[in-house]
Amino acid sequence: MKKIQILGTGCAKCKTLMANTEESVKALGIEATIEKVEKIQDIMKFGVMTTPALVVDGVVKSAGKVLSPEDIKKFL
C-alpha cells in the first residue's frame, strides 16, 4: 500500500491537489493512504519551501504546483 502525503497549510491549491490525488488513486484502483500534512514544522522536515507538495512513500515528487490527475498518476 502506498503512503501519499499532501503538504500544505490548507490553501485552495492544496485542496485541489488533494482532490486530484484522490481522483487519481480511484482511477488507478490502487490501495493508498492519503494524508494531509498542514503543520509548518512537519512540512519543513521534507525540505519543501513551496506548497502544495506531493509526497509518495516518503519521497517528494512535486512542490509548488497543483498537479493534474494525469500528472499524479505518473508518480503512483
* Catalytic annotation, pick one of 3, 9, 11, 50: 11
Question: Could you tell me if 76 and 30 are in contact, meaning their C-beta atoms sit under 8 angstroms apart?
Answer: yes
- Grid coordinates standing for 32? 493508498
Count how many residues are written for the chain. Answer: 76
Is 30 catalytic? The answer is no
Question: Could you tell me if 8 and 38 are in contact, meaning their C-beta atoms sit under 8 angstroms apart?
Answer: yes
Residues in CB range of 15: below 8 A, 6 or more apart: none
Is 64 catalytic? The answer is no
* Catalytic annotation, pick one of 7, 14, 55, 63: 14
* Active-site amino acid positions: 11, 14
